Structure 1
Amino acid sequence: MTQSALVRYLGHDFTNNALLIQALTHRSHSVPNNERLEFLGDGVLNCVIAHLLYRRFPKLPEGELSRLRAHLVREATLCEIALGLSLGEYMRLGEGEMKSGGWRRPSMLADTLEALLGAVFLDAGFPAAEAVVERLYSPLLENLDPKSLGKDPKTFLQEYLQGRKLALPEYVLLATEGEAHCQVFRVECRIPALKVHAQGAGNSRRAAEQQAAQAAYELLK
């Protein structure tokens, strides 16, 4: 794909195309690279997301806004957006990074996306960068639910039962399998009042409990 396709996806035409090239250039490829642009883009992104959340949720307290922002600017979210842009296909990587699959590495995709935002900011100022962020994040913001975001399955299940004045679930360890360095825990979540039994497995007891809670919650729904 040509960089013009990426520009269309972003919705920003660069006046200084060298900034776009630099934003896509990893340090393994050449100098100048995108590390400084990434630093700048990280700050721009945090500011824009804070502004968008402030406007969108006028009644949320500071702590909740911070939690939402942390979710939206984390590596996993940035990687998801970068994949939607097919950003890995445009990245300029050194031979070693190309061979090791750096173009699909979540951290590298996230860093490059931040560098692009820094490049837009330098190219056309804060309003342009804000417009790009708002465009990229629009689908995520539309589906953002402050009440449920960041809650794990055990918390969901607990709140469901408490809301119906039912006793909290019991988590029973059924088995521990495998060698010490790669154990698998099997746990059952029991809700006697509703005659619900659901099992989960994981590489820690906590992970198995979470999976069992999710299975129980799905049965209740």
Structure 2
Amino acid sequence: MKLSADLSAFCGRLGYKFSKPEYLVRAVTHSSMVSPHRDDNQRLEFLGDRVLGLVMADALLRADPNAAEGLLAPRFNALVRRETCADVARQIDLGAVLKLGRSEMKSGGRRKEALLADAMEAVIAAIYLDGGFAAAQNAVLRLWGDRIHNVADDARDAKTALQEWAQARGEVPPQYTEIGRTGPDHQPIFTIEVQLASGPVEQASAGSKRQAEQAAATALLKKVSQ
């Protein structure tokens, strides 16, 4: 099987050459493109998630041999979560080579965070099946790069940190409210407001509710920590 020009260029960005290109083709095929003669990437995504997890767990243990589980767990979560996988996918322009059905194409599927993250995990699985664990490990460590060594000692997400801040002071959990939504349906911008029972409030906007909530929580944490 010979890869198309765009997939061959993608392999250059990925830094891996496939012995069996069909693995890559399956990895970039979204379920919206499924046909009797074409498999989608969902099973590969399932496998890639586990391969990524093992690579990251091993890398974190090696990077800090003395770190307790309480520190390793949030670091691990920060490195394997959807946002990080999607960020790596954008880094190598994975969205440009995804095989999408017409509906996903029209709805901006190449830019969707969840779709990019899933496809990134599928590509990791494709490398694992094609070249073994060492090949997948090398690819992941190269693509994640400094993220592994620069991950914060306390990599809890901002929402968790804000909730813990409130609980430590005897307050109820922060309240998040969607106060606005703009932009087209395929690329909406959400505005979220977060408020503490004691009064402080902040708001933020982003391309997903989760990102907007995290951004609002980050802003409020900065305010109450001053």
Q: Which residue of 2 aligns with 1:175?
A: none
Q: Label 1:155 to 1:122 Cα distance change in 2 as closer, same or farther (>3 A).
A: same
Shift of 1:155: 8.6
Cα distance, 1:200 vs. partner? 4.1
Q: 1:210 to 1:56 in 2, by over 3 A?
A: closer
> Identity, % of aligned pairs?
33
Given that residues 188 and 212 in structure 1 are in contact (C-alpha distance below 8 angstroms), is that contact kept between their aligned partners in structure 2?
no
TM-score, L = length of structure 2:
0.71
1:98-109 correspondence runs (5 A): 98-109=105-116
Q: Which residue of 1 aligns with 2:29?
A: 25
Q: Distance in 2 between matches of 1:186 and 1:111?
A: 32
Amino acid at match of 2:222: Q
Distance 1:211 1:8, change over 3 A: same
Matched, 1:7 2:18: no
User: CA RMSD for the aligned pairs?
Assistant: 3.6
- SS for the counterpart of 1:15 is coil
Q: Residue type of the partner of 1:11?
A: G
Q: Are 1:61 and 2:61 matched, yes or no?
A: no
Q: Is 2:124 the partner of 1:81?
A: no
Task: Assess, with a 3 A threshold, how the Cα gap between structure 1 residues 212 and 136 changes in structure 2: closer, same or farther.
Answer: same
CA distance in 1, matches of 2:149, 2:69: 20
User: Quick one: which of 59, 63, 76 aligns to 1:52?
Assistant: 59
The answer to whether 1:215 aligns with 2:216 is no
TM-score normalized by the length of structure 1: 0.73
Bigger Rg, which one? 1
Is 1:202 aligned to 2:203, yes or no?
yes
SS across alignment from 2:33: coil
1:150 to 148, 156, 181: 156
Q: 1:67 to 1:16 in 2, by over 3 A?
A: same
Runs of 4+ in structure 1 off by over 2 angstroms are 151-158, 182-190, 199-203, 206-213
Distance in 2 (CA, whole Å) between partners of 1:111 and 1:19 is 15
Counterpart contact for 1:44–1:117, Cα < 8 Å:
yes
Q: Deviations over 1:108-154 (max 9, x none)?
A: 100100000000001000000000000011121132221x3226475
Distance 1:186 1:56, change over 3 A: closer
CA distance 1:25–1:53, change in 2 (3 Å): same
Alpha carbons 1:25, 1:34 under 8 Å: kept: yes
**Pairwise CA distance, 1:186:** 6.8
Instruction: List aligned pairs for 1:84-163, cutoff 5 A.
Output: 84-146=91-153, 148-150=154-156, 152=158
Distance in 1 (alpha carbons) for counterparts of 2:122 and 2:144: 16
Question: Is 1:72 matched up with 2:79?
Answer: yes
Tell me whether 4-13 or 104-113 shows the greater mean CA deviation. 4-13
CA deviations 1:29-82 (Å, max 9, x no partner) are 122111111111111100111110110010112232222111111111111111
Give yes or no for the alignment of 1:40 onto 2:50.
no
Residues 75/209 of structure 1: CA separation in 2 closer, same or farther (3 Å cut): closer
